[in-house]
Structure 1
Amino acid sequence: MQSKKSAGGKPTQRVIKKYPNRRLYDTDTSTYITLAEVRQLVMDSEPFVVRDAKTNEDLTRSILLQIILEAEAGGTPMFSEAALANLIRFYGHASQGFMGSYLEKNVQAFTDIQAKLTEQSKTLTPEMWSQFMNMQNPLMQGMMGNYVEQSKTMFDKMQEQMAKQTEQMLGAFLKR
């Protein structure tokens, strides 16, 4: 699936319409597509939006969650029951907004690490690859250590922001 480009050379956002019969229609290709094809758009980093055909409501998050649900149901799940239960507990909690941002930044940091490893592995000869695999454990430990440290720093900043906001809210409340 190729994306169209706007006059400025940037890819235009593809519009997928969702009909009441649960079918998805790709306005770019003028064809019905499956959830698997929408997943492929995500994998290809294609910009798209899913809209309700009647109301024009943005359903993109809902479709992305559906893709995650299917992926979790088939094969090896990414999230344990304990992790899912903990995520559920954050909904409605004062730190809900911070948790989303925290998770997003952590997933991006992990993605960046993975991209660097992939890029570096392209230049390896079979001999270098063998040496890399032999030293991978300490290297991965170092990279994951850096990732964990960045994650801890982001979490500490999040806690500081929450404390400041709580202090401001309480201060405003007590002044009344």
Structure 2
Amino acid sequence: MQKNKADAGSASTGALRVIKKYPNRRLYDTDTSSYITLAEVKTLVMENEPFVVRDAKTNDDLTRSILLQIILEEETAGVPIFTEQVLANLIRFYGHAMQDFMGAYLEKNVQIFMDLQQKMAQQTPGINPDMWKQFMNVQSPMLNGMMGTYLEQSRDAFTQMQEQMQKNSEQMLAALGLKR
């Protein structure tokens, strides 16, 4: 039932926008009934437009791979967000016992940072990206206060992750008949 709603188009129903990926690597937006580029998918992301990318033949969800492709293009095209060291450390978490916790930790921290950014934008309407760059370089007391709040929330998220790991370990040991 959800699929039919999504295929009907997001403009009229408020449903999830469906983009189909064909074997020729082209992306077809079922909402606009037209082919779109990866740059246009990036625009959907930037505009917070909910969408899903599906394989046209198998209907498999390809959204993650398309988002990763956008990140790859962004990382190689301009000023990257991730250093080589950060990328290497992320790779080291794959297959590691901490993988799930690291994913949750990163997700929570990025959300906290996005909330901070949104709060700053609401408090200073009309400031363009160049003005933001100058503002960030000044390191004003307001920015320092907001970054302090962000760091505190990040620390809290890490503490919660540690507590959850400890609780999971204790449950696992108890299930094995071992006590800590």
TM-score normalised by structure 1 residue count: 0.86
Q: Is 1:147 the counterpart of 2:150 in the alignment?
A: yes
Unaligned runs of 5+ in 1: 125-131
Q: How does 1:48-87 map to 2 (within 5 A)?
A: 48-87=51-90
Aligned length: 164
* Deviation of 1:174 (Å): 3.4
CA contact (8 A) 1:3 1:46 kept: no
Q: Which moved more, 1:40-49 or 1:93-102?
A: 93-102
Counterpart of 1:4? 11
SS in 2 for 1:17: strand
Once residues 91 and 80 of structure 1 are traced to their aligned partners in structure 2, the CA distance between those partners, rounded to angstroms, is 18
Q: Which residue of 2 aligns with 1:20?
A: 23
The one-letter amino acid of 2:12's match is K
Q: Deviations over 1:120-145 (max 9, x none)?
A: 11279xxxxxxx88985221111111
SS for the counterpart of 2:140 is helix
- Greater Cα shift, 82-91 or 132-141: 132-141
* Equivalent in 155, 166, 169 of residue 166 of structure 1: 169
* Amino acid aligned to 1:51: R
User: 1:30-41 to 2 correspondence within 5 Å?
Assistant: 30-41=33-44
CA distance in 1, matches of 2:138, 2:29: 46
Residue segments in structure 2 that go unaligned for 5+ positions in a row = 1-8, 128-134
Distance 1:42 1:81 in 2: 25
Determine helix, strand or coil for the equivalent of 2:24. Answer: coil
**In 1: Cα distance, 2:102 partner to 2:73 partner:** 23
Percent of aligned pairs with the same amino acid: 67
**C-alpha separation in 2, matches of 1:26 and 1:147:** 37
RMSD, matched Cα: 2.2
User: Deviation per CA, 1:62-109, whole angstroms, max 9, x where unpaired?
Assistant: 100000000000110000011111111111111211111111111111
> TM-score, length-normalised on structure 2?
0.84
CA distance change for structure 1 residues 123 and 64 in 2, over 3 Å: closer, same or farther? closer
Q: Give the aligned residue type for 1:120.
A: Q
Once the two structures are TM-superposed, the CA of residue 171 in structure 1 deviates from its matched residue by 2.1
Q: Which amino acid aligns with 1:157?
A: Q
Is residue 99 of structure 1 aligned with residue 106 of structure 2? no
The letter of the residue matching 2:55 is D
2:50, 2:108 → 1: CA distance? 20
Deviation at 1:167, TM superposition (A): 1.6
Counterparts of 1:66 and 1:135, CA distance in 2:
34
Distance, in Å, in 2 between the alignment partners of 1:12 and 1:3 is: 5
SS of aligned partner of 2:48:
coil
Distance 2:82 2:136 in 1: 27
